A and B are shown apart, each in its own frame.
Chain A
Amino acid sequence: MQSSLSSPPHASSHGTSNRAAIIWAALIFATMLTWLVGERGDAGPAITALLMTIAFAKGTLIILDYMALRRAPLMWPLIALGWMLLVCSMIGLAYWKGLAA
């Protein structure tokens, strides 16, 4: 019995060059936004929520498209996105704890 991994040619998991380029542009735009927040010295719970949301959104693009987990067995994108969500949420929680201290 052959495994599906050794049965080429497989369906493409890697999308098109246009899609990859648009995602790159979105990632760069999001990075500029994060940098701008830093340069302005913006702070506070809303800004931290914004920073973590941007990080999560960027991570989602990397995980689903660049890592090509969009077409992987569901367990894999769920684990990666779950990790991203958990870490960003814990950072947010720690920030909130710092405010209360």
Chain B
Amino acid sequence: MTPLSASNSALETTARRLPGDLAIWFFILAELLAFGVFFVVYAFTRANHVELFNAEQLTLDRTSGAINTVLLLTSSFFVVRAVQVAEAGFSRRAAPWLAAAFACGAGFVVVKIFEYAEKIGAGISLSSSTFYMFYLSLTFFHFMHVILGLVIIAAMWNGARTGRYGPDNMNGIETGAAYWHMVDLVWLILFPLIYVMR
């Protein structure tokens, strides 16, 4: 290796870098594609049933949707803090941040379960109408991603607690963090699209 190429590779280490595992980013792209298709199909179906969608949207609890947005955003912030602390070399200090992130994610699940219980109690199901079919299937598809995200955060918490992460071992925590932020990202479109836009 020539001195020039050695200095180039040294530069590369401080240049642009994709955080976490490359595989998770391909998985995230696939997920974004799937959610994107669902959102666009919802929007164009709505265009053909505007009155129905506007009327039934009024039965949704926007405040629950907003609370869940706040919970996901706050959870994402806590995950960022955990990653920053781990990167600074304090893996064990990342654990409480991840526990807080998990608590917010679990809060999302609880709010959503109450929302579903209320709808099911009112006799609403997938076959009630086109709007409710979309509302239930889209939010439940996202809900399953939140559940998987919580499992990943729990694994990250365990890793942080045992001192696994540090500036020389960020792959695991960055990979899990990227997935969790994706779950947040799609909700940022889902909330205005289904709960608010009319």
- How many chain-B residues does the 8 Å CB contact rule pick out? 59
Contact A91 B181 (CB under 8 A): no
Query: B37 → chain A, closest Cβ, in Å?
Result: 9
Query: A11 → chain B, closest Cβ, in Å?
Result: 4
Contact A90 B87 (CB under 8 A): no
Contact A34 B43 (CB under 8 A): no
**B161 at the A interface (CB under 8 A):** no
Contact of A34 among B47, B54, B191 (CB under 8 A): B191
Known: A20-B80, A90-B40, A101-B47. A31 touches B73 (CB 8 A): yes
- Contacting residues, chain B, for A35 (C-beta < 8 A): 62-63, 65-66, 69, 196
Pick the interface stretch among B12-20, B108-116, B124-132, B135-143. Answer: B12-20
Contact B192 A4 (CB under 8 A): no
- Contacting residues, chain A, for B18 (C-beta < 8 A): 69, 72-73, 76
Known: A74-B16, A94-B43. A88 touches B189 (CB 8 A): yes
Contact A54 B192 (CB under 8 A): yes
- How many chain-A residues does the 8 Å CB contact rule pick out? 64
Contact A95 B9 (CB under 8 A): no
Query: B12 → chain A, closest Cβ, in Å?
Result: 5
Give Cα A14 to B63, complex, Å: 31
Give Cα A9 to B17, complex, Å: 12
Query: B25 → chain A, closest Cβ, in Å?
Result: 7
Contact of A87 among B40, B44, B167 (CB under 8 A): B40
Contact A14 B47 (CB under 8 A): no
Identify which of B12, B13, B188 gathers the most chain A CB atoms within 10 Å of its CB: B188
- Contacting residues, chain A, for B195 (C-beta < 8 A): 38
- The main secondary structure of chain A at its interface with chain B is helix
Identify which of A14, A55, A59 gathers the most chain B CB atoms within 10 Å of its CB: A14
- Contacting residues, chain A, for B25 (C-beta < 8 A): 76
- Binary interface profile of B, 37-71, with partner A (CB < 8 Å = 1, else 0)? 00110011011101000100000001101100110
Give Cα A95 to B192, complex, Å: 13
Give Cα A54 to B196, complex, Å: 12
Identify which of A2, A38, A58, A62 gathers the most chain B CB atoms within 10 Å of its CB: A38
Contact A51 B81 (CB under 8 A): no
Identify which of B47, B63, B87, B168 gathers the most chain A CB atoms within 10 Å of its CB: B47
Which residues of B come within 8 Å of A, CB atoms? 9, 12-19, 25, 29, 32-33, 36, 39-40, 43-44, 46-48, 50, 54, 62-63, 65-66, 69-70, 73-74, 76-77, 79-81, 83-84, 87, 167-171, 174, 178, 181-182, 184-185, 188-189, 191-193, 195-198
